[in-house]
Amino acid sequence: MKLGKIEKWFINREIHSKKVIERAERLLDLIDIKPDQSFLEIGCGSGAASKHIYKKYRVKLVGTDVDENQIKLAKKSIKDLNNITFLVSDSTNLPFKDKSFDIVLSINVLHHIYNWMDALKEINRVLKNNGYFVLADLLFTKWAQRIGRLYPGQAFGITAANNLNLFIANNNYSTLYSNISKPLMWSNIEAIYRKSIAGNGR
């Protein structure tokens, strides 16, 4: 889903980018990242977090976003940088081969995708065995899910903890870290999952 002008203005502000970078760094510092590992950020927006991650961890980084204008912004400041690429791409249909990435990062993306489980399937497909899936997002409470489903035309994904947990279990991920805030209409989740060698990714 492409964001509206007001949402785009909000997420492109420097203060918002700083918060996303701090959140990503806090999670990524919990795992062992090696230079030149392959790294994918889905829903990278203007690329602020991707560029910070690239410079700090020296990974081979690809950032994707469904919005071509956000990708144009992201590309503006990487002319002299190697091993970082930004692409227009739908997270439910990623243009990469199976098992292409060591690490996949998704921060506040899934709840913007109506068919968010399809995005998870794509993340699983492109993630290598023993790779890390780093997630930060919203999880809706059961009653908020019921309200959301009354509006089948709504654009947002009604992300649910039970569906996420089932996906993680069915695809043989281990949970290395998980923190879920106390829910009101929704809760915030931060988690690091590791894909088992026996994972079901193609």
Q: Is residue 200 part of a domain?
A: no
What are the backbone angles phi and psi of residue 88, rounded to the nearest 5°? -80, 120
Q: Compute CA distances 2 → 7, 8, 70, 124, 186, whole Å.
A: 10, 9, 10, 23, 22
Minimal CA–CA distance to 60: which of 50, 70, 68? 50
CATH of the domain at 158: 3.40.50.150
Residue 202 forms part of a structural domain: no
Q: What is the pLDDT of residue 100?
A: 98
Whether 200 contacts 171, CB under 8 Å: yes
What is the pLDDT, as a whole number, of residue 143? 55
Residue 201 within any structural domain of the chain: no
Give the per-residue pLDDT at 120: 96
- Residue 31 domain boundaries: 5-195
Q: Does the residue 191 lie in any domain?
A: yes
Tell me, yes or no, whether 125 lies in a domain. yes
Q: What is the pLDDT of residue 4?
A: 56
Residue 163 near residue 120 (C-beta atoms within 8 A): no
Which pLDDT score, from 0 to 100, does residue 145 have?
61
Q: Evaluate whether 171 touches 201 at the Cβ level (below 8 Å).
A: yes
pLDDT along the chain (202 residues), means of 10: 54 74 96 96 94 95 95 87 94 97 96 90 98 93 60 61 91 95 80 81 46
Count of structural domains within the chain: 1
Closest CA to 132 of 106, 114, 97, 166: 106
Cα–Cα dist 8/27, whole Å: 24
> Within a domain: residue 90?
yes
Residue 56 belongs to a domain: yes
What is the structure's pLDDT at 81? 84
Find tokens 């243009």 and name the residue.
Answer: 95
Inside any domain, residue 107? yes
